[in-house]
Structure 1
């Protein structure tokens, strides 16, 4: 069968799914070809790796866009917790399949393997890789070639496909398309001095991170004996687990450290690796069930329920693109004119060899200490990913997304996680559709991207409009009528702080608060928004000692919510607070200053043993706590400490919906009504003259505080409006009931001419306040 499309995406992991959906939504006739029977790749029920991303380390940094749509829907439908690798079930497979089937421009070929790449002018790459530079290197066969078609085979149907298109996207993970097309790629580690990367190997190496399979066990309520087969690995040494970072902490499984690579090649020896992983996985369970004194009783009624048989890869080929990402790009949070995605996972490089090495990856070997030297060195603030790193350099019609993008191995340690690869996929899918509409070529777009030109600006604005967060990019869409409006609301929540008893947003998430209190054995801090005058700050402290304790504190200005420098950009005030003996004592600090509006942080300056700062029940948008990471930096706790501010601060004003970004950043970017006033509540846009409005786009606060692991089964974000009405000049033009989505785009039955547009929230999914983070209006 020969089929023609505008865009062909190879690889149906999260990068590929998001790329294909984005291209199809952009109007491109799109094909997604995937070699497995279910979508999701490493995140599917076949491999069961849960989705991680920037929100693991940073409050309000979760990836949004298509990936957030699908993860939110999975949580709404799924009866099962998410905790660790091995716990994904078929509900997520079905959500991904559902999202693809909903797109009329998308053709899906499952169980279909790409066998070859047909190039314009004929021929196929046959050059072998070499290791002259210490790692596997395949140099380009011929620069500036074009792919004509992919040749694929649907094994379950004995069908061979020729998939033609002017644009292709390689999301295969192993860079199968780029390799067959003759692109330059690397595999292994660059030497430390090649790019001056602190996390690179001292010398170049062909070693890679290993692959994993996962196990899952189920409590059957009675004794469940287990006998390992004779070919399974037998473990007898407790130190192998407890001293080397392989702690079997949960009897249900989920052990990412069941990992093997070196001495085998993660591509060519994949079947050998699968068998070796199976031997070890059964051996791990045998140890836990039959010999480990710490787990035998806990595992007594647990029966093995799942053993993965598709290894999940962390690393293989990395294709040379039109920008080569190096570790300093991430460490320095370099600003790219063509940023189209964001990341924020740490530099996470596992020990080559995995189970065969002396220890698992370093963080685990340190018991995941958040204040260790290693943790401080690997921590990254959210950063931008340039479009040029998602474009093959040697083929003029090939985009890249996923772990095969143009990056060094050290930088791969961060960009490889699936939340990040998913937003890469949406970026290139959107870019491919834009090229088809504009009649541009990929090299044209690459030149435009390097200069931050108009086409790149259009792409960035489209991504932002579609819910993607891009660092340093705001809504400047000239077609958005809301940007010229004035905003008022029926009420606004006063920002006075939070106590340990106050109900607050996000408290329904798992681990919010992370604990009831945080000991001041290490220093702590709290982000707060100040709108002008600040007379008094109060902290809710416990003093477990019999005598008062002095707690040195300071108030500092910070540049946005992810400024994690101790001391911020400026120290505004300092004091020594006296914490008297007892629990939940409010300690006052008379600041008495007029302060320019912006984010502040209340910091303790040195440890105060015996004293603890009480946690709040929830988190106000942008108002979260941090704890000691290193001598110079903080890390988020994904919760809030108890604090009070006087006078009340204007943090959640109606105009925040026009901040240009749909999450707390330079300001809270959130309107919240006064929860004491009940519902309904409204927010209204007004213009001096009538505007023709045909489309209204609303964004409610999503589950941005934490990654998907913090969301329980059947979860719907309480801040999302369930029932709401849109009125134009007092006349109802839209009514929605039963909403569970954080983003809604509504095309009105017919455009209206109006000077006022009101969003009336009748009911939420649990929050007592109405809340919005962005409103957009368009003529069409």
Structure 2
């Protein structure tokens, strides 16, 4: 006989993927009682060890675009303690599950029920949920959970559906919103489900015999001509995908079975038949095959705003911005393995300059809270892939790092609604600035909002430092922290024919631009390291612009500050000088970016730098008036060197390179930052944002990784009675965001405060993005 237990909370979150997990933790951190219900034995959804899709996000396509906040805390922790390499699919192990479990256990006010499925919803009236009835598998226990606010993070919109909300499933037609990716006629087709596998090198030949009930593949064109190249024999693949003709919710078990048949067949092809892989795979044996399909798309619950693809493509600015995205408009071909070709970008061999690639590239863009607020039920919000977006917009919003940001924002929003007993409309009307400022304080980034927290006493301080590193440029032989970062494709056994690159990475086959961070010094001269491959002098044309931001990808971002005609003598890796006479305030804003572009030239190469210096990146032209991020530096030198790492930037309200470098960076061995006030201040906590884990996606970071730029050991000192006293010391840190109490109880009073960085995790220079101080 089943027993029923009744529990009451302020917030109930249904669904424990990254969106639901982030929502629950964020709400609990705001001080409201929260219950998280998850129908699987582990947290993480598609990212868990059951499904093993590693989280993707904006940094895949945009330098310094990685998501921060709760998702960043988790991923930094996982890399620091996990011995396992991470690749795109198939390699997630239980260390990730336990990282999330540990955070859940360590969050005051958060209760969770695993292996617990939602059964029914009880409504107070048509527009309000009173409670949900859930059942815990294997325990004959039903849970009746009452709450003031509910969040649907089920992916499939199960809670919203049971509550009677309107939802969509399938693709809108072009006639409804005129979306470039929309089909001419609306249809019910959605992206499919996937399972993954992992193979292990056994050090000796290992046979594989395909079961009779599995699919046997014989045609190489299915893989190499239709966008399904087996690029890593050890694990994969996102294109092991099936949806249409089956329903991704109701036919999930049939899809799982069909995927298993096909996955075994794909491994048989790799192992026994493919002439490009069978020798590489000879010593590999299957280690794991997923049996929980990962879903991309099903119900999308209609909210107070329906986001279309015009919003991410046009980078719409929303007053209620609470998150950001930056994945491309990634719409997989309905049917997956059963379709004539795979996802369009893959079918085009990842040519970044096709019409499809150009129209699909977008971001970083803001995401509004209204897409997370049910239009039909007053106390229901959504986070994850079931938010209020069109099918086309879902192509970019659906990736897990983005949904985690949305989840954290929704958690903060529902906590505000509960605390002040606000309706959804009242929340939108009165609390958006509060939600935005709280998200920034909690480590998130918003493209169109900066720190304006009136409680942050650091904003009133004068900031000085022991030293401020100057930016001289970067050359072919430069070294630094970037060599600790590798692209995850570099960790794969390469096939005989490597994947095609978008262009020759050195030669100027296309227009290339380099962002250069400047301070408040003039720019007299820039030198570029170029190679002339022709044997005769060549002329290269270029332009210098004042750039709006590091993500301003317009091919022509305004009137150029200077037009360049460079005479390049024949020879290898020679520095060519450009004379300029630019002044901050007159020609460009102080503490901003310049962008130096060189136009295409078949005989000249702009030499790639040996490392990436903080706050700098480059891009290349893809067509349609767009540039695309390269996430590397081209060699350049500045005269005079720029003070773009000035200490004052730690209180400018932005915690990553964006419209400026936004970073204090010290000279080696001189590593303290000081805040001073005209009048003594009472301080309880100091909140710090250190550099690291921004430039690349999660996949780029090796096992047991601690970012060398991040402070490892530091102290916070206060000035009292003419002497410096140590108020706190932190050891063995590797997290980007730190909250440091200055006294066990009460506060300290001082008019001067220093952060002294004694040791980083490897970088010779100390650096900080932001300092906040609170009483």
TM-score, normalised with respect to structure 2:
0.95
**Cα distance, 1:631 vs. partner?**
4.5
2:757 is the counterpart of 1:761 = yes
Q: 1:773 aligns with which of 762, 769, 774?
A: 769
Residues 362-394 of structure 1: per-residue CA shift (max 9 Å, x gap):
000011112222111101021111111111111
2:620 is the counterpart of 1:632 = no
| CA distance in structure 1 between the aligned counterparts of 2:574 and 2:67, rounded to whole angstroms | 38
2:210 is the counterpart of 1:228 = yes
The change in CA–CA distance for 1:512 and 1:12 in structure 2 (over 3 A counts) is closer
> What is the SS of the residue equivalent to 1:74?
helix
> What is the SS of the residue equivalent to 1:503?
coil
Which 10-residue stretch deviates more, 527-536 or 70-79? 527-536
The answer for the alignment partner of 1:258 in structure 2 is 240
Q: Any conservation in 1 of the 2:692–2:708 contact (CA below 8 Å)?
A: no
The answer for the alignment partner of 2:514 in structure 1 is 526
The answer for the alignment partner of 1:134 in structure 2 is none
Q: Any conservation in 2 of the 1:118–1:150 contact (CA below 8 Å)?
A: yes
Q: 2:449 aligns with which of 473, 476, 481?
A: 473
> What is the SS of the residue equivalent to 2:449?
coil
| CA distance in structure 2 between the aligned counterparts of 1:631 and 1:118, rounded to whole angstroms | 52
Q: 1:507 aligns with which of 483, 490, 493?
A: 483
| CA distance in structure 2 between the aligned counterparts of 1:494 and 1:642, rounded to whole angstroms | 16
| CA distance in structure 1 between the aligned counterparts of 2:679 and 2:426, rounded to whole angstroms | 40
| CA distance in structure 2 between the aligned counterparts of 1:679 and 1:284, rounded to whole angstroms | 55
Residues 60-116 of structure 1: per-residue CA shift (max 9 Å, x gap):
111100000000001111112222111211111110111111012111111111011
> What is the SS of the residue equivalent to 1:629?
strand
**Cα distance, 1:409 vs. partner?**
0.5
The answer for the alignment partner of 1:458 in structure 2 is 434
> What is the SS of the residue equivalent to 1:120?
strand
The answer for the alignment partner of 1:130 in structure 2 is none
**Cα distance, 1:239 vs. partner?**
0.4
The answer for the alignment partner of 1:705 in structure 2 is 695
> What is the SS of the residue equivalent to 2:707?
coil
Which 10-residue stretch deviates more, 275-284 or 87-96? 87-96
The answer for the alignment partner of 1:740 in structure 2 is 734
| CA distance in structure 2 between the aligned counterparts of 1:402 and 1:338, rounded to whole angstroms | 17
> What is the SS of the residue equivalent to 2:159?
helix
**Cα distance, 1:512 vs. partner?**
11
> What is the SS of the residue equivalent to 1:266?
coil
The answer for the alignment partner of 2:559 in structure 1 is 570
Q: 1:498 aligns with which of 469, 474, 478?
A: 474
> What is the SS of the residue equivalent to 1:738?
coil
| CA distance in structure 1 between the aligned counterparts of 2:483 and 2:558, rounded to whole angstroms | 30
| CA distance in structure 1 between the aligned counterparts of 2:611 and 2:693, rounded to whole angstroms | 13
| CA distance in structure 2 between the aligned counterparts of 1:77 and 1:753, rounded to whole angstroms | 38
| CA distance in structure 2 between the aligned counterparts of 1:160 and 1:583, rounded to whole angstroms | 74
2:36 is the counterpart of 1:32 = yes
How do residues 249-328 of structure 1 correspond to structure 2 at under 5 angstroms?
Answer: 249-328=231-310
| CA distance in structure 1 between the aligned counterparts of 2:257 and 2:330, rounded to whole angstroms | 25
How do residues 46-445 of structure 1 correspond to structure 2 at under 5 angstroms?
Answer: 46-121=50-125, 142=126, 145-445=127-427
| CA distance in structure 1 between the aligned counterparts of 2:188 and 2:136, rounded to whole angstroms | 33
Which 10-residue stretch deviates more, 202-211 or 511-520? 511-520
2:582 is the counterpart of 1:588 = no
> What is the SS of the residue equivalent to 1:609?
strand
| CA distance in structure 1 between the aligned counterparts of 2:161 and 2:683, rounded to whole angstroms | 49
> What is the SS of the residue equivalent to 2:389?
coil
> What is the SS of the residue equivalent to 2:560?
strand
**Cα distance, 1:14 vs. partner?**
0.2
Which 10-residue stretch deviates more, 170-179 or 494-503? 494-503
2:601 is the counterpart of 1:619 = no
> What is the SS of the residue equivalent to 1:183?
coil
2:591 is the counterpart of 1:601 = no
The change in CA–CA distance for 1:631 and 1:188 in structure 2 (over 3 A counts) is closer
> What is the SS of the residue equivalent to 2:524?
strand
Q: Any conservation in 1 of the 2:728–2:741 contact (CA below 8 Å)?
A: no
Which 10-residue stretch deviates more, 301-310 or 437-446? 437-446
Which 10-residue stretch deviates more, 730-739 or 423-432? 730-739
Q: Any conservation in 1 of the 2:87–2:488 contact (CA below 8 Å)?
A: no
Q: Any conservation in 2 of the 1:52–1:707 contact (CA below 8 Å)?
A: yes
| CA distance in structure 2 between the aligned counterparts of 1:82 and 1:487, rounded to whole angstroms | 40
Q: Any conservation in 2 of the 1:513–1:640 contact (CA below 8 Å)?
A: no
Q: Any conservation in 1 of the 2:654–2:770 contact (CA below 8 Å)?
A: yes
Q: Any conservation in 2 of the 1:402–1:425 contact (CA below 8 Å)?
A: yes
> What is the SS of the residue equivalent to 2:610?
coil
Unaligned runs of 5+ in 1: 122-141
| CA distance in structure 1 between the aligned counterparts of 2:489 and 2:123, rounded to whole angstroms | 56
Residues 301-323 of structure 1: per-residue CA shift (max 9 Å, x gap):
01011111111100000001011
Which 10-residue stretch deviates more, 170-179 or 563-572? 563-572
**Cα distance, 1:443 vs. partner?**
3.3
| CA distance in structure 1 between the aligned counterparts of 2:263 and 2:603, rounded to whole angstroms | 44
> What is the SS of the residue equivalent to 1:713?
coil
| CA distance in structure 1 between the aligned counterparts of 2:274 and 2:260, rounded to whole angstroms | 19
Residues 259-318 of structure 1: per-residue CA shift (max 9 Å, x gap):
000000000000000000001000001111111111110110010111111111000000
Residues 31-74 of structure 1: per-residue CA shift (max 9 Å, x gap):
11101111100001111111111111111111100000000001
**Cα distance, 1:513 vs. partner?**
13
Q: 1:41 aligns with which of 19, 33, 45?
A: 45
2:17 is the counterpart of 1:13 = yes
| CA distance in structure 1 between the aligned counterparts of 2:234 and 2:568, rounded to whole angstroms | 43
| CA distance in structure 2 between the aligned counterparts of 1:9 and 1:247, rounded to whole angstroms | 39
| CA distance in structure 1 between the aligned counterparts of 2:365 and 2:463, rounded to whole angstroms | 32
Q: Any conservation in 2 of the 1:679–1:763 contact (CA below 8 Å)?
A: no
Q: Any conservation in 2 of the 1:681–1:762 contact (CA below 8 Å)?
A: yes
| CA distance in structure 2 between the aligned counterparts of 1:659 and 1:298, rounded to whole angstroms | 52
Q: Any conservation in 1 of the 2:467–2:670 contact (CA below 8 Å)?
A: no
**Cα distance, 1:355 vs. partner?**
0.4
The answer for the alignment partner of 1:652 in structure 2 is 645
| CA distance in structure 2 between the aligned counterparts of 1:513 and 1:344, rounded to whole angstroms | 20
| CA distance in structure 2 between the aligned counterparts of 1:192 and 1:331, rounded to whole angstroms | 16
| CA distance in structure 1 between the aligned counterparts of 2:718 and 2:13, rounded to whole angstroms | 42
| CA distance in structure 2 between the aligned counterparts of 1:457 and 1:592, rounded to whole angstroms | 42
Q: Any conservation in 2 of the 1:19–1:427 contact (CA below 8 Å)?
A: yes
The answer for the alignment partner of 1:751 in structure 2 is 747
| CA distance in structure 1 between the aligned counterparts of 2:603 and 2:703, rounded to whole angstroms | 38
Which 10-residue stretch deviates more, 505-514 or 94-103? 505-514
The answer for the alignment partner of 1:125 in structure 2 is none
Q: Any conservation in 2 of the 1:539–1:642 contact (CA below 8 Å)?
A: yes
Q: Any conservation in 1 of the 2:509–2:601 contact (CA below 8 Å)?
A: yes
TM-score, normalised with respect to structure 1:
0.94
> What is the SS of the residue equivalent to 1:610?
strand
> What is the SS of the residue equivalent to 1:85?
coil
Q: Any conservation in 2 of the 1:87–1:254 contact (CA below 8 Å)?
A: no
Q: Any conservation in 2 of the 1:512–1:617 contact (CA below 8 Å)?
A: no
**Cα distance, 1:570 vs. partner?**
2.2
